[in-house]
Structure 1
């Protein structure tokens, strides 16, 4: 069953268009993440779903009910804000049960819901404290608890982890994912952090300037980006985007890439059809390998590579990142930790062409 359906949504402030023809549908139990750079419209879209912002056109349905003109309190949603929005003079317990008290829920139900949520979030020892006595992570748990007792049709999270330090963000991310799995909750989650998007989502919406660039699973977004914006935005380090020239020879597509200090690098890709003469080749850092000829290399990389001049080497514990220049742009290879590679020296690299994306340099759209 579709829990959220957005059709042709438009949002404008006067003559300024913020959201352009937004169409999204998610099923019950989905974890939808809206991701994109600051100013792309993702928080505005969340506020439109919540009813905090009126829309300029289109329709929003929640659990099959048209809520386009319905007030936020009647949409059967619960929202967790970036700022926590806790009442400083109330205890944790009263913050969590406040909404139920306002709606006239009987005391026994309030206490049962409070006990259940406190156990789920492991905040039983905090129930008598005030928000000022809590850490950032504890406050975020309380804000989540206040949403969970509502048992709504749809949870909305507006960058809930952005105020936390890096280590706490990772642990809270795990807790949110576990809660989703345990409750089978339907969630719409806004973030600018693509790592959060990849780890939490069952479905991702990538946005830019109020326009949806791609909707898909984390795997689809990562492995088959629809355009160069998605390719560059999703992934850390980002996908390498290398200008190249294309020709056909004996039924095989030849990819020619300018190489500093030598003749162009020529790769042969037998698995791709017609491409225009000028392209941008997209390849993830982990799909560039040391060209050793060893059997561990993917077959598609064993005969597609050559020597390049290494500019920078960055040891990173489990990996070693080697940066070179190809096609006039920096290219990062994610190599094994034990790889012996040095800056200012030639080093053989192989490209796994079975994982490569090809894009048009004119409009940035995917070609394969």
Structure 2
């Protein structure tokens, strides 16, 4: 039974449409991440699930119960906000147990649940402090503790890590992932950080301008993006999107890519079929390989490339990034750290054709 079902949800402010025909279903124990650029509607959708925003059309069901018109306090949810929303005059312990006290939970149960979550979050030593005496990471743990003691059907997280520094964000991300695994909690999580989405989610919803672009597992979203927006948004560095020309030839597809100062780069794809004459070829940086040592190339990269002019070389520890120009666009290859690539020289690169995507230049949709 799905823990959350959203059917044909619409949200408008007067004549301004914010969310367009949203349909999402997740099972108990799923970690759903809503991701997209600022203004795409992901936080509005989370607020609609929470009941903080009334919807214009459609239905929301939590644990097979229609909660479309139900008050937030009666939806059996717990929310963790970006701002933490802690009471500054209360101790950590009081912040965590205050909601239970308001609901009339007996003192013994309050104390037991406080002890449990304090142990899970490793904040036992902070229980007598006030929020003003805590670091950002400690305040975030308290906010999570306040949600955990509720034992709700659904946890809602609204960009909970965006106020933390980069190093703390990584460690807190690990803690949230571990909590999900330990509790088998059902979570809906909003972020604009696609790395956060990829590492935390069991299912990702990519949004743009209030419209769902793709729903899938992290692997599906990364390896088979539904359109050029998803391909460009998910991944760091982003997928290379290269204008190209395609035509059938002797049972294979011949793909030509313009390159600076030389004849077009020609790739023959034995699998691609029925491509239009004008296409956009999408390839991840890690799927462009150094072609000097054929032995280490994937089978589908053998011969699928040629010499290109390298504009910039960026050593990055475990990897070396090489930037060239193909099809009039900058193209990044993620090479081995020991690669002998040198800027302002020609260098052989090969594409792993089993990993490439083809898109329509007209509407951005996936063609393969």
Range class of TM-score, shorter chain: over 0.9
| Alpha-carbon distance in 2 for matches of 1:189, 1:293 | 44
Q: SS at 1:188's partner residue?
A: strand
- 1:204 CA drift (Å): 0.1
* 2:286 is aligned with 1:286: yes
1:140 corresponds to? 140
Structure 1 equivalent of residue 303 of structure 2: 303
How far is the alpha carbon of 1:290 from its aligned partner? 0.3
Say yes or no: does 1:103 pair with 2:68.
no
Output the aligned Cα RMSD: 0.4
Give the alignment of 1:126-205 within 5 angstroms. Answer: 126-205=126-205
Question: Structure 2 length normalisation: TM-score?
Answer: 1.00
- Alpha-carbon distance in structure 2 between the residues aligned to 1:219 and 1:122: 32
Q: Is the partner of 1:330 in helix, strand or coil?
A: strand
Which SS does the other structure have where 2:198 is aligned? helix
Q: Distance in 2 between matches of 1:283 and 1:251?
A: 23
Structure 2 CA distance for aligned equivalents of residues 302 and 252 of structure 1: 15
2-structure distance, mates of 1:241, 1:303: 20
List per-residue Cα deviations over 1:93-133 (Å, max 9, x = no partner). 00000100000000000000000000000000000000000
SS at match of 2:295: coil
Alignment match, 1:320: 320
Quote the residue 2:214 is aligned against.
Answer: 214
**Structure 2, gaps ≥5 residues long:** none
> TM-score under structure 1 normalisation?
1.00
CA contact (8 A) 1:29 1:185 kept: yes
Aligned match of 2:33: 33
- Which residue pairs with 2:78 in the alignment? 78
What is the 5 A alignment of 1:253-272?
253-272=253-272
Give 1:60's aligned residue. Answer: 60
Matched residues in 2 for 1:343 and 1:291: separation?
16
Deviation of 1:248 after TM superposition, in Å, equals 1.1
CA distance, structure 1, for counterparts of residue 65 and residue 283 of structure 2: 43
Question: Deviations along 1:189-221, whole A, 9 cap, x unmatched?
Answer: 000000000000000000000000000000000
Per the alignment, in what secondary structure is the counterpart of residue 296 of structure 2?
coil
Quote the offset at 1:307 in angstroms. 0.2
Correspondence list, 1:215-230, <5 A? 215-230=215-230
How many residue pairs get aligned? The number is 368
Distance in structure 2 (CA, Å) of the matches to 1:223 and 1:360:
17
* Aligned-pair CA distance for 1:15: 0.2
Following TM superposition, by how much is the alpha carbon of 1:299 offset from its aligned partner in structure 2, in angstroms? 0.5
2:16 and 2:273 map into 1 onto residues whose CA distance is: 42
Whole-Å Cα distance in 2 between the matches of residues 90 and 151 of structure 1?
22
- Aligned counterparts of 2:364 and 2:88: Cα–Cα separation in 1: 49
Contact kept, 8 Å, 1:41 with 1:209, in 2: the verdict is yes
Indicate conservation of the 8 Å contact 1:293/1:302, yes or no.
Answer: no
Corresponding residue of 1:116: 116
Q: CA deviation at 1:293?
A: 3.9
Shift of 1:247: 1.1
Per the alignment, residue 2 of structure 2 pairs with 2
Residue number in structure 2 paired with 1:365 = 365
CA contact (8 A) 1:40 1:207 kept: yes
CA distance in 2, matches of 1:365, 1:144: 39
The CA deviation at 1:297 is 0.8
Q: Secondary structure at the match of 2:289?
A: strand
Counterpart in the other structure of 1:240: 240
Q: Deviations over 1:305-362 (max 9, x none)?
A: 1000000000000000000000000000000000011111000000001000000000
Deviation at 1:294, TM superposition (A): 2.7
Moved over 2 A (4+): none
Distance in 1 between the 2:109 and 2:124 partners? Answer: 17
Question: Secondary structure of the residue that 1:199 maps to in structure 2?
Answer: helix
Matched, 1:276 2:276: yes
